[in-house]
Amino acid sequence: MHRVLILFLDGIGLGPSDPNTNPLYTAPMPNLIALLDGRRLIHDSCPYHGNHASLHALDTTLGVPGLPQSATGQAVLLTGRNVPAEIGEHYGPKPNPAIAKILREDNLFIGVLRQGGSAILLNAYPPRYFEAITSKRRLYSAIPMAVNAAGINLMTAEDLQARRAMSPDFTGEGWSSQPDFPPAPVYSADEAGKHLARLSQNYTLTWFDYWLSDYAGHRGTEVQAIRLLETFDKVLGGLVEAWDMTQDLIIITSDHGNLEDLGARGHTYNPVPALLIGPARLRGRFAQDLSDLTSFYPGVLRVLEA
């Protein structure tokens, strides 16, 4: 069975080539640009099919009025169902009861286990997260809710210390800067990418949730956004260097646009990327009938069935 790593970059859309508003157009990202044969992660680069990567645009509006939102967008990726159409609106950031019911009925993590594979969300969560969930002061977002519904344990600080999990910022620097968080390993961005590749070899499906990109789109400055993208590019470089480019697939995608338009300071109507890295046969298998977020769930399962 092939392996799939999903790098979920929250709030990353395919915007225009506008240096005034789109940090994805201006940030130095040599590893990403090399994968795309000189192209950037913008709408004009789609579609692209190269030796090691393909880039497609996925519609996030799904025929439903209003700006795409996190809970519904993530639920669509996880289930293949047009969740906004089913509940009558784009909704977020956290799932409401209707979305929660859909996620618990079936989702990608459940589907992989049903096929006989293994699945994990690699993000480590600090003790205060679990305390807030238990006390109901905090609600699950769609991705950990789907993991929980599949009966898969969320990763803890102990998993992070044992190098079985990764911190939300990849490197561990952000985690280590929190005075009330347990200590954790710190990696360079390149080392973090290589460690991500190693951990992914232990599972059929590995998912990493990079929510800092959406946070930067809502509240960050252009300088902060560019610094974040530079770090991500170095992580990507290490990941690709350590990846088995003959057998397994990396998929980079998102739930809605945001960071690509710092002038808007909110979600956008832009499509999101499906950046596929790996052997051409798996990229092609995933991309059959690929058009919007509903295409993601069946595409992943097709790759894992190959």
Tens-digit pLDDT profile for residues 35-88: 999 999 999 999 999 999 999 999 999 999 999 999 999 999 999 999 999 999
> What is the distance between the alpha carbons of residues 184 and 195, in angstroms, rounded to a whole number?
14
Instruction: Note the Cα 195 to chain centre separation in Å.
Output: 17
pLDDT above 90 as % of the chain: 95
pLDDT band at 1 (very low <50, low <70, confident <90, very high): confident
Residue 302: count other Cβ atoms within 10 Å of its Cβ. Answer: 15
Instruction: Note the Cα 208 to chain centre separation in Å.
Output: 6
Residue 48: count other Cβ atoms within 10 Å of its Cβ. Answer: 15
> What is the distance between the alpha carbons of residues 201 and 179, in angstroms, rounded to a whole number?
32
- Residue 204, helix vs strand vs coil: coil
Give the mean pLDDT of the chain.
96
pLDDT for 87 equals 98
The structure's pTM equals: 0.97
Q: Check whether 157 has a pLDDT greater than 90.
A: yes
Q: Check whether 306 has a pLDDT greater than 80.
A: no
> What is the distance between the alpha carbons of residues 254 and 251, in angstroms, rounded to a whole number?
10
Domain regions of the chain by residue span: 4-305
pLDDT band at 270 (very low <50, low <70, confident <90, very high): very high
pLDDT for 271 equals 98
Tens-digit pLDDT profile for residues 114-140: 999 999 999 999 999 999 999 999 999
pLDDT band at 304 (very low <50, low <70, confident <90, very high): very high
Tens-digit pLDDT profile for residues 193-203: 999 999 999 99
Tens-digit pLDDT profile for residues 207-264: 999 999 998 989 889 999 999 999 999 999 999 999 999 999 999 999 999 999 998 8
pLDDT for 169 equals 96
Contact 5, 304 (CB under 8 A): no
CATH numeric code, 4-305: 3.40.720.10
pLDDT for 220 equals 85
